[in-house]
Amino acid sequence: MQEHLHSRGMRCDGAHGGLAASVSHISRARCLCPQTSRRAARQACAVTATISLERDVPLFLQEREAQRSKEAGPQDFDLQVQDMSKTVLGIILGGGAGSRLYPLTKKRAKPAVPLGANYRLIDIPVSNCINSNVNKIYCLTQFNSASLNRHLSQAYNANVGGYSSRGFVEVLAASQSPVSKAWFQGTADAVRQYMWLFDDAVRDGIEDFLILAGDHLYRMNYQGFVLAHRKTGADITVAALPTDEKKATAFGLMKIDGSGRIVDFAEKPSGDALQAMRVDTTILGLDAERAKDEPYIASMGIYVAKASAIRDLLMKHYPQANDFGSEIIPGAKDMGMHVQAYLYQGYWEDIGTVEAFYESNLALTDNPTPKFSFYDRDAPIYTMSRFLPPSKVQDAEVNNSVLGDGCVIRAGSTISHSVIGLRSLIGERCKVEDALMMGADYYETLEECALIPGCLPMGLGAGTHVRKCIIDKNARIGSNVRIVNQAGVREANREEEGFVIKDSIVVVIKDTIIPDNTVI
């Protein structure tokens, strides 16, 4: 077995979670943190962020702002960026029941679904916020929020908050109030129901709301996003992803004018309606060659907006509207508000379905360079510090896979193109192919195992073969079990037996017991 341990630089102002161990190649661990004083380190971080930010802003925005500065006087936008911890509020929309991800959302909120062996979905937008100096963050959800709340409180609040920064990461669950006795009816309604709380933040100095989704996989520095929003003087700025014609039909598309201002929206258009949404994406900073192949821009469902504009839209102009993407944002454009597009050119994936979730996780094992990697010293993904031991591999073979912390792989087993979650136990002579195992929430003692019929431990029993499947946490799979979907079934609901099949992917439900010699 080869073990890949890639060290990361430590950020000056935050904690980080453990990295998963990759087995694609060997690299030497390096110390990336110079022994500087804390004050000097903070200054260095600020300078680096400012330089990086200037590179991210499209040239036309800089030129236009220079012209405005001659007329209206200089404005210190760098200072605005450094002040984001005081002036920007992060609002992560956790989504509804997560039916597209069911049964992974059967016992947890969608943002709490495990990701990449060591992490959870919510860690992506929260880490992006922290890396962008946004340290006041709310996550809105209304289903099964207990595990999400526990994860956020244990992972972040001790490190994000402080006597001076006053940062926090908190869950806002749907609840009844004298004003509203209903569940969240959509993304916009969720923000509307908690507007009374966000108004308090505005009184404390918040100027902009950064509205994010809790089921996307990407790495983004929101400082450039907010800076572009403020430089253009927009009421709302929408993150836009360039896309080709084949993929464009699956997105909500936007049309822009010569300044990047959005002039039209179309939801999943086709035919002539699709052709009408073609734009010159070089306007937003895309290079000419790529712009020729990707003449459409899709909304990523990520917005930065003036707090006053969001309040007016939700409470005054569209008090019955429930969704940002299909109602509030187009409505703001129609009533003459300045709605701007901001180009994002990195990797982005909506992982709101079982198939997308499965493919995105296994893509982390791509060799040599995955599209998304947790190995980034400049923008790490944080998570809960669990203080688990290193994973142990006992005369087993592991290829192109990711192992989480605290796993035990016993002799004679073979693991290929798979993601193995923390605390996973894989017995002797097992075969794991194209599989996502989420691991376990705790280590089990012999006394605890004795309470289970047959004392079947969590993990895979000896001689078991699993392929193209997702095994949720705490599942107990016996010896000589075969989970391979040999019949090629595409859809099946066998929840009473502990599994479902979606898009030909077998999903073993959390806490399920699969007896010895079972064939799925």
- DSSP codes, 78-103: HHHHHTHHHHEEEEEE--SS-GGGTT
Average pLDDT over every residue of 301-325: 94
Max mean pLDDT range (5-14, 159-168, 183-192):
183-192
Quick count: other Cβ atoms within 10 Å of Cβ 146? 13
Residues present in the chain in total = 520
Report the percent of the chain where pLDDT is more than 70.
Answer: 82
Round to whole Å and give the CA distance between 187 and 203. 23
Residue 209 pLDDT exceeds 70: yes
* Burial of 345 from C-beta contacts in 10 A (0-12 / 13-18 / 19+): middle
Angstrom distance (rounded) from CA 471 to CA 438:
6
Query: Who wins on pLDDT, 161 or 482?
Result: 482
Instruction: Name which of 468, 374, 377 is nearest 416 in CA terms.
Output: 468
DSSP 4: B
pLDDT of residue 176: 62
pLDDT band with cut points at 50, 70 and 90 for residue 57? very low
Half-sphere exposure of 149 (CA within 13 A, CB side): 10
CA–CA separation, 50 and 48 (whole Å):
5
Mean pLDDT over the full length of the chain? 84
The token duo for 192 is: 């509307």
pLDDT of 390 over the 50 cut: yes
Residues 435 and 449: beta-carbon distance below 8 Å: no
Six token digits for residue 216:
């996307």
The residues, ordered by sequence, that sit 6+ positions from 496 with a Cβ below 8 Å of its Cβ are none
What pLDDT does 265 receive? 93
Residue 113 phi/psi, 5-degree rounding, is: -65, 130
Specify the amino acid at residue 409. I
- Region 425-432: what's the mean pLDDT? 97
- pLDDT higher for 110 or 209? 209
- pLDDT-derived band at 146 (thresholds 50, 70, 90) equals confident
CA 139 to chain centre: 12
**In Å, how far from its chain's centre is CA 324?**
19
**Hey, what are 473's tokens?**
């946490």
Band of residue 145 on the pLDDT scale cut at 50, 70, 90: confident
pLDDT at 49 over 80: no
Residues in Cβ contact with 165 at an 8 Å cutoff, skipping those fewer than 6 apart: 85, 135
* This prediction's pTM: 0.82
Residue 98 vs residue 442, higher pLDDT? 442
Beta bridge partner(s), residue 491? none
Cβ atoms 340, 237 nearer than 8 A = yes
Residue 199 pLDDT greater than 60, yes or no: yes
Mean pLDDT of the region 245-253? 91
> Which of residues 14 and 190 earns the better pLDDT score?
190
Of the candidates 403, 474, 396, 405, the one whose C-alpha atom is nearest the C-alpha of residue 428 is 396
| Paired residues of 243 in beta bridges | 296
Supply the angle between the helices 38-56 and 222-232 in degrees, to the nearest 10.
60
DSSP state of 372: S
Between 63 and 29, the higher pLDDT residue: 63
Q: How much is the average pLDDT of 275-291?
A: 92
Alpha-carbon distances of 159 from 62, 115, 167, rounded to whole Å? 35, 22, 9
CB–CB of 402/366 below 8 Å?
A: no
